[in-house]
Amino acid sequence: MDASASTGDAKPADLSALVIHLLKGVIYQEADATLWSALLRLQARVRDYVAVLGLELVLDEAEGYAFLRSRPDSEADAKTVMPRLVARRPLSFPVSLLLALLRKKLAEFDAGGGDTRLVLSRDELVEMVRVFMPEGSNDAKLFDQVDTHINKIIELGFLRRLRPIAGAPEQSATLEVRRILKAFVDAQWLADFDERLEAYRSRLLGKDVGQSDE
């Protein structure tokens, strides 16, 4: 039976609670199996509910995440423009670069057919970025910059800091790449990745720190 078919006995409070959770952020199957099960059961009603708000439900059952995003603007909506409930957030150029590199790393990881969790160290993230920096860049400054970008990406929900091993140095800290990143950087985008990467390299070498939309 389809998970969204049996919704007739749902209480309004259940539906409202789900929407409130989604408005607050991403719902992960691994974080709350009960909430995830309720979302699968009520997803058709959730979609109808949030559509009134100009939002759409993105639910990936295989990857185990769900979130809300603004519906694409259409000609039909041109005369009734609604204020955005889910705002676009400008990203600094280095953060955009690191997100792109993480998405490519995730694609390579998935192609290997191994574990489902991609875990990287802070040092590995620094090395991913280093090749795009000018020769002779100051290591201490680079580490500080990458730490700042990592914190921003954690805030955006695309990385999760894992619990450190007692007594381990800061450089050994590990981070999990959240699979929701696949929903924001899609396969079509990856198809043009090499060309984009060259543009990133040129801009970084030119110290251009322009903005891009999420």
Interval 170-186: pLDDT, tens? 555 799 999 999 888 77
Alpha helices in the chain (DSSP H): 12-24, 33-51, 93-111, 122-130, 139-156, 181-184, 187-191, 193-205
Domains 12-77 and 90-213 are alike in CATH topology: yes
The dihedrals phi and psi of 45, each to the nearest 5 degrees, come to: -70, -35
Tokens read off for 44: 């058709």
Interval 53-108: pLDDT, tens? 888 999 999 999 999 988 775 444 544 444 444 555 677 778 888 888 899 899 88
Interval 3-46: pLDDT, tens? 433 434 445 558 888 999 998 889 999 989 999 999 999 999 99
For the chain, give every domain's residue range.
12-77, 90-213
Calculated CA dihedral for residues 17, 90, 163, 58, nearest 10 degrees: 40
The fold of 90-213 is Arc Repressor Mutant, subunit A (1.10.10)
Q: What is the pLDDT of residue 33?
A: 92
Whole-model pTM?
A: 0.68
**Domain 12-77 part of CATH 1.10.10:** yes
Q: Can you give the length of the chain in residues?
A: 214
171 by DSSP, 3-state: which?
Answer: helix
